[in-house]
Amino acid sequence: MRNALGLTLLPLSALFAVACSADSDEPLASSDGDTELALSPGASTTTAAGDSVDKGRRGGSRRHRGHHRHHGGTPPEPPAGESCVVAGQTFPDGSAVPSGDSCNTCACNDGSVICTLALCEPSVCAAFIEESDGVCSRFPLDPCIAQDPDCVPDAGECEAAGQSFPDGGVVPSGDSCNSCSCSGGNVVCTRIGCEPVACAQFIEEADGVCSRFPLDPCQFQDPDCAAPGGDPAP
* Per-residue pLDDT tens over the stretch 116-171: 988 888 888 888 889 989 899 999 999 999 899 888 766 678 888 888 888 888 99
Range with lowest mean pLDDT among 15-24, 37-46, 186-195: 37-46
Does 128 fall in a domain?
yes
Does 119 fall in a domain?
yes
For residue 73, the model assigns a pLDDT of 66
Does 135 fall in a domain?
yes
In sequence order, the 6+-apart residues with CB closer than 8 A to the CB of 13 are none
The secondary structure of 11-62, three-state, reads CHHHHHHHHHHCCCCCCEECCCCCEECCCCCCCEEECCCCCEEECCCCCCCC
Does 89 fall in a domain?
yes
For residue 157, the model assigns a pLDDT of 83
Rg (CA), the chain: 46
Contact 86, 123 (CB under 8 A): no
Q: How far apart are CA 35 and CA 49, in angstroms?
A: 18
Query: Which one-letter DSSP state was computed for residue 228?
Result: T
Does 166 fall in a domain?
no
For residue 95, the model assigns a pLDDT of 95
Does 96 fall in a domain?
yes
Full domain range(s) for residue 110: 80-152
Position 96 confidence tier, pLDDT thresholds 50, 70, 90: very high
Query: Which one-letter DSSP state was computed for residue 57?
Result: P
Q: Which residue has the higher pLDDT, 19 or 221?
A: 221
What are residue 89's DSSP bridge partners? 86
CA atoms within 13 A on the CB side of 221: 15
Q: How far apart are CA 20 and CA 40, in angstroms?
A: 14
Q: Which range has the top average pLDDT, 8-12, 54-58, 215-219?
A: 215-219
SS3 label, residue 86? strand
Average pLDDT of 29-37?
43
Residue 105, pLDDT > 50, answer yes
Total domains, the chain:
1
Query: Which one-letter DSSP state was computed for residue 41?
Result: T
Range with lowest mean pLDDT among 136-145, 149-158, 190-199, 213-222: 149-158
Contact 83, 111 (CB under 8 A): yes
Q: Over the stretch 4-25, which tens digit does the pLDDT of each residue have? A: 444 445 454 444 444 444 444 4
Does 191 fall in a domain?
no
For residue 218, the model assigns a pLDDT of 92
Does 227 fall in a domain?
no
